[in-house]
Structure 1
Amino acid sequence: MHLDFGLRLTQEQKLIMTTEMQLSIKLLQMSSYELLQHINNEVQENIVLEYANSSEAASNDNNTKKDLFDYKEMIKYLEFDNYGGKNYITNNYVEEISPFTFIGNKSTLSDYLKEQLAESNIDYKKNMICSYLVDNLDCKGYLTLDLNVVCKELSISMELCELCLSIIHQLDPCGIGARNLSECLLIQIKRKGLYNEDLEEIISSHLQLLSENKYTLIAKKLKISPMQVQKYGDLIKGLEPKPSRGFYTGDEISYILPDAYIKKVNDEYLVLMNEEIVPKLNINSIYKEIINSSDDKVAVEYVKEKINNAMFLIKSVDNRKRTLYRVISEIINYQRDYFDYGEEYIKPMTIKNISGKLNLHESTVSRAIRDKYISLNSGRIIKIKDLFTTAINISSEQLSNQNIKRIIKEIIQEEDEKKPLSDSSIRSVLLSRGLDISRRTIAKYRDEMGIKPSSQRKRF
């Protein structure tokens, strides 16, 4: 092997990711919420960037604002004192009053429980202890705080603490204040008059076996019939494991906002981008005039840099919207039967299918659909990524994995509950219909749909 040192001149093509390209890619794959957060941060940090509405609202007052400031001094102040993220311009116009200002506080589960305590006939001390316990319930309505800690913090006896906890157990919703799932279920069966020793034993010691439908094994332990265990199991499964369900627990509910709406007009589907998610941005005209009128080079260069950053952000957001529009439009063309007739007609579709039609790189399409949602003509909101399904070759025909899952689910729904079909038996049924699917694939799809194996679906 010959080793030496030397200089060689070579020519090659290489793609270098600039900071702007990296930001553009980052914006493309952001969800609507992430993009909104990013824009809010940029508006706070970039003094020349503003929301379009605020610019229009203040357009009539711009001349007055110009007379109030020395632009050169303001730019220097913002730059050298590192206050670029704040804008201290005084508003001479009345701010718009938000209707959300007049919305009252939501009534929580804690409020509901304390109202019941106030209406009960317990003394002040017990009421205070019960209120303390209520304040320490978790989001499920359980008391996870150790009673020994409660006794120490409140300087009370364990007997009094347990008495106050029993008072909470009598409140609605039924099962509130339990310290674990078993206690929650036991409270419910006692208050509903369903209590017996066998039922208590199942709840206290055999919930795991019950979740696996191992009725025979539980029956041997309790020396009762499997059918009786099954009846107990049906009763337990009808109880509420989360007492706080349906009540506001203090956590805000997050809603999915669609990135686009699909509307059918005259047998054609239109893609309407949701303009309300991302606010329109403008360059503040005051800073544009600084470039033309100011003699301070430092101020001009500072403003130019901020304007360039703002313009790139505006263009990147617009490019993100156009790319997403093109991808959704092509998906509609490809999955026309799905949009016309429903889930049964979804076709196998990969990112490569769409990227090839649009002459885009697969990674671009993948980023464009990440965490994006669309609202269908029926009003249902779906994740765009759910429309991409792998293909399974069946003879000369291709079916999507979603269609295969639907067929497997229908077969299981029609089975004899006393003799549920095993995965091998389901495969035999599929083979009789001309669908050659492996047993392992069937088990995988069944798990993905949350359907238990045959041993746990059996009914007596």
Structure 2
Amino acid sequence: MKQSLELRASQQLTMTPQLQQAIRLLQLPAAELSLEIREALESNVMLEPDDDTDTAAADEQSEAPGEPAVDPSEAVLGSSATDATQFGEGITVADHWDEPGSGDDSLDRHAAPSGSLQDHLQWQVDLSSLGERDRRIAAALIDALDERGHLTEPLADLLETLGGDGDIDEDDVNAVLTILQHMDPIGVAASDARQALRIQIDAMPSGTPGRAVARRAIDADWKLFGSAQQSVLRDRLGVDQATLDEALRLIRQLDPHPGSRFGETRTEYVVPDCRVRRVNGRWQVEINPEASPRIRVNDYYASLIRRGDGSRDNSLLREHLQEARWLIKSLQSRGETLQRVAECIVERQQGFLEYGEESMQPLVLRDVAEAIDMHESTVSRITSRKYILTPQGTLEFKQFFSSHVPTADGGECSATAIRARIRRQIAAEKPARPLSDSRLTEMLRDEGIHVARRTVAKYREVMGIASSTERKRLG
């Protein structure tokens, strides 16, 4: 074998501690950010609350008298360093914020969190070997689960929300969905109770007594499970009573609503990260100062740093000063990113702000990312669990994103607007003559919106509205 030397050039993103910190802060909602800042103020003597916003910029750049310019090893995240808002590809939520060798890497560090179903599933995703793209899909699926753990949102809508730029297709979403359905609790993210039970049965060992009959019984009419109807079920399945009893005992061990046991959710008090209001006829976005408290470097402690002093105390002070600057710069980056994203969303959704849901425009993460020249994952992070105070109420950022449906005139209408129109039409119907899905489809077509009847049915079910037959009976 002939040996040779070969020179190759490649680019690689190095996750420096300051970049890791900036990315993590992008994701934090207001309440968690305030806690993070409070802990930093308690642990770092170089930091103090900035009550005077006019001098914030000067305080942020303050240095000890006579201290030389910061050397490259102390460079902060800024114009001369890699900014977190310029990256996203290959950086996942699961990236650890510890430097190599800084702590124990055992699974004890990843104790399962208590709290919501979403937290529990995200914890498992973070520990999985899924790549960046699949993690994005998993996050969208987890976010779309209801309190029972069922996935009621159409996959087509989720695919559109994920951007649909060619790197994600329906097969990708289905593949991640299958993985999610086999996480704990198994059967989560099923479309309904029947599918949740099927998934749990299929996951059992093939030799489990009663498994085959139980699988067939799940697909049968559940009304036959009652003792009075079991003879009909027994005949339909072609089994004796003992075999049926064994299958029913197995089914009773399953959970048709896997997410219900996570119902003890934590109470979260929503603090808007920003607000939008009309000023001189224009919509303006303002960052809520209560959601992002300002901090600065403490001049006194910074002045204690002595040039050329290699003592332990002096080194500790210099380390604290460096960490303080990193945090301040990361917070600045977060605020600027939030402002730009919010302004872009407000510009696109002015109709919604003025007239409500029926005027919501189609919008996906990719649209915002391209408009402000940021990576899509950065937009996803900064809009996750963030809220904005609007004339229509305090809304989560994700409510401004909606897939689109073509209209008769060649334009587009958002799925949110279509659902709002369906609600309006049903609210105005005569109780004795409720509108069928076909009639609703026709009424939407009269308004210039062409959607299939099955799409109308899916939207109606997602909103928890019964069918016309059930509405008539209830009425």
What's the TM-score bracket when you normalise by the shorter of the two chains?
0.5 to 0.7
Structure 1 pair 337/430, CA: closer, same or farther in 2 (3 Å)? closer
**Residues in 1 aligned to 2:279 and 2:442: alpha-carbon distance in whole angstroms:** 44
Structure 1 residues 28, 379: closer, same or farther in 2, change over 3 A? same
Shift of 1:25: 0.9
| Deviation for aligned residue 1:379 | 7.1
User: Separation in 1 of the partners of 2:398 and 2:407?
Assistant: 24
> Who wins on radius of gyration, i.e. which is larger?
1
User: What's 1:155 paired with?
Assistant: none
3-state DSSP of counterpart to 1:279: coil
Query: Normalising by the residue count of structure 1, what TM-score does the alignment of the two structures yield?
Result: 0.52
1:10-29 equivalences in 2 (<5 Å) = 10-29=8-27
Matched, 1:406 2:406: no
Between Structure 1 and Structure 2, which shows a larger proportion of helix residues? Answer: 1
**Which residue, 381, 385, 388 being the options, matches 1:367?**
381
Question: Paired residues, what number?
Answer: 265
Matched, 1:393 2:409: no
Return closer, same or farther for 1:293/1:10 CA change in 2, 3 Å cut-off: closer
Report the Cα distance in structure 2 between the residues aligned to 1:311 and 1:9, rounded to whole angstroms: 38
Query: Partners in 2 of 1:279 and 1:380 — Cα distance?
Result: 23
Q: Distance in 2 between matches of 1:26 and 1:294?
A: 34
The 5-angstrom pairing of residues 318-397 of structure 1 reads 318-376=332-390, 378=391, 380-395=393-408, 396-397=410-411
Higher relative contact order (CA 8 A, sep 6+): 2
Q: 2 CA distance for matches of 1:434 and 1:267?
A: 30
Distance in 2, matches of 1:339 and 1:430, equals 23
Q: Once superposed, which parts of structure 1, at least 4 consecutive aligned residues long, lie more than 4 Å away?
A: 3-7, 251-254, 293-296
CA 1:295–1:9 in structure 2 vs 1: closer, same or farther (change >3 Å)?
closer
Q: Are the structure 2 counterparts of residues 418 and 306 from structure 1 closer, same or farther at C-alpha, using a change threshold of 3 Å?
A: same
- Residues 356 and 392 in structure 2, CA contact (< 8 A), matched pair in contact too: no
**Residue 323 of structure 2 corresponds to residue 309 of structure 1:** yes
Map of 1:84-163 to 2, 5 A cutoff? none
Aligned ranges 1:27-426 → 2 under 5 Å: 27-53=25-51, 254-292=268-306, 295=309, 297-376=311-390, 378=391, 380-395=393-408, 396-426=410-440
Tell me how far apart the structure 2 counterparts of residues 285 and 34 of structure 1 sit (CA, whole Å). 27
Separation (CA, whole Å) in 1 of partners of 2:345 and 2:2: 56
Question: Quick one: distance in 2 between partners of 1:309 and 1:457?
Answer: 61
- The one-letter code of the counterpart of 1:286 is Y
In the other structure, the counterpart of 2:457 is: 443
Kindly state the Cα deviation for residue 272 of structure 1 after the two structures are TM-superposed. 1.8
Q: Distance in 2 between matches of 1:42 and 1:331?
A: 31
AA aligned to 1:328 is A
Distance of 1:427 and 1:364 partners within structure 2: 37
CA contact (8 A) 1:347 1:399 kept: yes
Asked if structure 2 preserves the Cα contact closer than 8 Å seen for 1:49 and 1:284, the reply is yes
d(CA) in 1 for partners of 2:283 and 2:444?
35
For residues 259-294 of structure 1, what are the alpha-carbon distances to aligned partners after superposition, in whole Å with 9 as ceiling and x for unaligned? 112121211222221112222212223321221378
**Cα deviation code 1:84-125 (max 9, x no counterpart):** xxxxxxxxxxxxxxxxxxxxxxxxxxxxxxxxxxxxxxxxxx
Shift of 1:429: 3.7
Distance in 2 (CA, whole Å) between partners of 1:338 and 1:32 is: 24
Whole-angstrom distance in 1 between the partners of 2:355 and 2:392: 15
Contact map agreement 2:437 2:453 (CA 8 A) in 1: yes
Q: What is the TM-score with the length of structure 2 in the denominator?
A: 0.51
- Gaps (5+ residues) in structure 1? 55-207, 210-250
Output the CA distance in 1 between the equivalents of 2:355 and 2:442: 29
Q: Is the Cα contact below 8 Å between 2:352 and 2:359 reproduced in 1?
A: yes
How many percent identity over aligned positions?
33
Contact 1:294 1:300 in 2 (8 A): no
Mapped to 1, the partners of 2:282 and 2:435 lie a distance apart of 44
User: 1: distance between equivalents of 2:468 and 2:436?
Assistant: 5
Per-residue deviation, 1:299: 1.8
Aligned residue for 1:374, secondary structure, equals strand
Amino acid at match of 1:304: R
Alignment partners' CA distance in 2, 1:379 and 1:433: 24
2:413 and 2:449 in contact (8 A); partners too: no
Contact 2:402 2:415 in 1 (8 A): yes
| Residues 349/425 of structure 1: CA separation in 2 closer, same or farther (3 Å cut) | same
Which secondary structure state, in structure 2, belongs to the residue aligned with residue 271 of structure 1? strand
The structural deviation recorded for 1:309 is 0.8
Paired letter, 2:320: K
Compared CA separation, residues 291 and 416, structure 1 to 2 (3 A)? same
The residue number in structure 1 matching 2:469 is: 455
Cα distance, 1:37 vs. partner?
A: 1.6
In structure 1, C-alpha distance between the alignment counterparts of 2:388 and 2:269, rounded to whole Å: 13
| Distance (whole Å) between structure 1 residues aligned to residue 448 and residue 266 of structure 2 | 49
CA RMSD of aligned residues (A): 3.0
